[in-house]
Structure 1
Amino acid sequence: MSAIDIRKLNVVFGDYEDRNHAVRDVTIAVERGESYGLVGESGSGKSTVLRALVGLVPEWSGEIAVLGEQQKPGPRRSHDFHRAVQMVFQDPYASLHPRHTVDQVLTETLRLHGLKGVDARIETLLDQVGLGGGYRFRYPHQLSGGQRQRVAIARALAPEPQILLLDEPTSALDVSVQAEILNLLGDLRRELGLTYLMVSHDLGVIGHMCSRIAVMQNGALVEELGVERMRRLEASHDYTRHLLDSALRSVRGGR
Structure 2
Amino acid sequence: MTTALDINNLNVYFGERHALVHAVKTASLRVETGASFGLVGESGSGKSTILKAITGLAPQWNGEISVEGTRLGPTRDREFYKTVQMVFQDPYASLHPRQSVDQVLSETLHLHGFRDIDDRVDQLLKDVGLGPAFRFRYPHQLSGGQRQRVAIARALAPQPDILLLDEPTSALDVSVQAEILNLLSDLRATHGLTFVMVSHDLAVVAHMCDQAAVMQHGEIVEILSIDAMRAGQTQHSYTQTLLRAAANRVA
Q: Which residue of 1 aligns with 2:46?
A: 45
Count of equivalent residues: 249
Q: Which residue of 2 aligns with 1:248?
A: 247
**1:15 to partner: Cα distance:** 4.1
Q: Secondary structure at the match of 1:24?
A: strand
**Letter in structure 2 aligned against 1:41:** E
Q: Which residue of 2 aligns with 1:159?
A: 158
Deviates more, 1:5-14 or 1:189-198: 5-14
Q: Deviations over 1:40-89 (max 9, x none)?
A: 1011001110000010112111000011111123xx21221111110000
**Letter in structure 2 aligned against 1:56:** L
Q: Secondary structure at the match of 1:43?
A: coil
Q: Deviations over 1:91-128 (max 9, x none)?
A: 01101111111001000000000101001001100000
**CA–CA distance in 2 between the matches of 1:14 and 1:103?**
38
Matched, 1:173 2:146: no
Q: How does 1:126-145 map to 2 (within 5 A)?
A: 126-145=125-144
Q: Which residue of 1 aligns with 2:21?
A: 20
**Letter in structure 1 aligned against 2:233:** E
Q: Secondary structure at the match of 1:3?
A: strand
Q: Unaligned 5+ residue runs, structure 1? A: none
**CA–CA distance in 2 between the matches of 1:16 and 1:112?**
37
**CA–CA distance in 2 between the matches of 1:17 and 1:138?**
47
Q: Which residue of 2 aligns with 1:69?
A: 70
**CA–CA distance in 1 between the matches of 2:142 and 2:15?**
40
Q: TM-score, structure 1 length as denominator?
A: 0.95
Matched, 1:117 2:120: no
Q: Deviations over 1:164-222 (max 9, x none)?
A: 00000000000110000000000000010000011010001111000000000000000
Q: Secondary structure at the match of 1:41?
A: coil
**CA–CA distance in 1 between the matches of 2:185 and 2:14?**
34
Q: TM-score, structure 2 length as denominator?
A: 0.96
- What is the aligned-residue identity percentage? 62
Q: Secondary structure at the match of 2:76?
A: coil
* CA root-mean-square deviation: 1.2
Q: Secondary structure at the match of 2:42?
A: coil
Q: Which residue of 1 aligns with 2:37?
A: 36
Q: Deviations over 1:127-164 (max 9, x none)?
A: 00001111101111110000000000000000111000
Q: How does 1:176-195 map to 2 (within 5 A)?
A: 176-195=175-194
